[in-house]
Chains A and B, each alone.
Chain A
């Protein structure tokens, strides 16, 4: 079942077209990896999919039963967040806000669900600690936990491993792959770490001011692009 489909999508900002004529679709349970050089429009595409900026042309179509309150988003971290006074739990709980409409307080079910998610991600021990005192890897898990509160269908990640060390990066990608497989969570991930992501992904979207390649992982590995990125061809 298609949950997102882009048709002839042009993206960018009013005075600057960044990437044009984008066509692709994402099915439920897919793990789409979006790759490309800096400035090729990866983050802009994500922001357009999420409705944070308007498309310059074309359309983003969602499945009928699908709206923003089914999306989980893990943005690039901002400086303002690094010294924000908040506990881990306060931040993770805020993932529910979008689904709550105008209901002001969290209910029992949400409080229980948070505990489950914290446990899954292995961060329940420091739920009362201050966010800014955590390491980069721990902070990223907290923001992932928040995204999981917001969704159990589609998770969108924008360069999630920027601030992490090698070991934390590996753990993080394994965690995402596990969520994709076990929870049937659809993943759209922007990454410039293609060699680390590719074996977990099911589809690849390669942007270079337009769609350079879109297809399954196997097609990608057998194409010339795999050699360009110095990836080992063929299947695992």
Chain B
């Protein structure tokens, strides 16, 4: 079988299609959101929140309830608190995130070790941290949830992109001239929480920051306008996820890590392109 025949064979299966759909949607959301987060110096917020989501999930496992019901509300709540606290300057945002991140991870691991009925705790934890298989076990409900949430997130970004730009570029100015920045910050926090929980399925909680950060910084290398940066970041994010998922199926590599490796690779290409473009501008 050559590669294309093999791909064709895999694509007959519903779980492969589901993985691709969800992968595309999540990486698109992460990439678009990532531009704002990186510019606001919130790049590590994804990491911190994903560990919170991990902590919440361990409780869900122990209590044997569906993980989404616990993960979504807790992660969203923490996201709102985090954005608020750092905005008011009560806590330095890198300190706050570091505290949450390790704290939640430790508690989560402790809980699952002490109370889990599963025989293979180490492998359970590894799966949630690195997301190795969960994307291939998505049910129809997960896929639809993902589609609905993506549509909501994208609509918000398209309709309010001018406002988001203004608040991101200069919050004080926006606030001083009559924009209700608190509303946008809270909506952003909710979106961050939702996307983190979804993205855990794709790459696991340790690698989420990669989905958020790499498309954005790749785009920063090549584009100078906010609109173009967002569009390019979205394209890069989706492209890397699709390639990453397909490659991981063909060669049996872990999905999350494969996607992230492609993210790094594309970033390096963008970096080289930038140097070449800058060089050619100077010689003109």
Contacts and interface: CB of A to CB of B under 8 A. Distances in A.
Are A and B subunits of one complex? yes
Interface of A: 47, 50-52, 67-69, 71-73, 75, 78, 80-81, 84-87, 90-91, 93-95, 97-99, 104-106, 128-130, 132-133, 146-147, 150-151, 156
A97 B163 contact: yes
A94 B225 CA distance: 14
Contact of B226 (A68, A78, A90, A133): A90
B225 A85 contact: yes
Contacts of A72: 177
B162 interface: yes
A81 B170 contact: yes
Contacts of A98: 174, 177-179
Nearest to B219: A85
Interface string B35-49: 000011100000000
B225 A90 contact: yes
A86 B168 CA distance: 11
Given A84-B169, A86-B169, A104-B163, A73 B176 contact: yes
Q: Which of B169, B174, B227 has the most CB of A within 10 A?
A: B169
B229 interface: yes
Interface string B135-172: 00000000000000000000000011111011001101
B69 interface: no
A86 B219 CA distance: 12
Contact of B170 (A75, A90, A130, A132): A75
B175 interface: yes
Contacts of A99: 177-178
Pairs of residues from A and B, 4 with the lowest C-beta to C-beta distance, nearest first: A130-B224, A98-B178, A98-B177, A68-B178
B176 A52 contact: yes
A97 B179 contact: yes
22 contacts: A47-B172, A50-B172, A51-B175, A52-B172, A67-B178, A69-B178, A72-B177, A75-B172, A80-B41, A85-B220, A87-B226, A90-B165, A93-B162, A94-B170, A97-B163, A97-B177, A104-B162, A106-B162, A129-B224, A132-B224, A133-B224, A150-B177
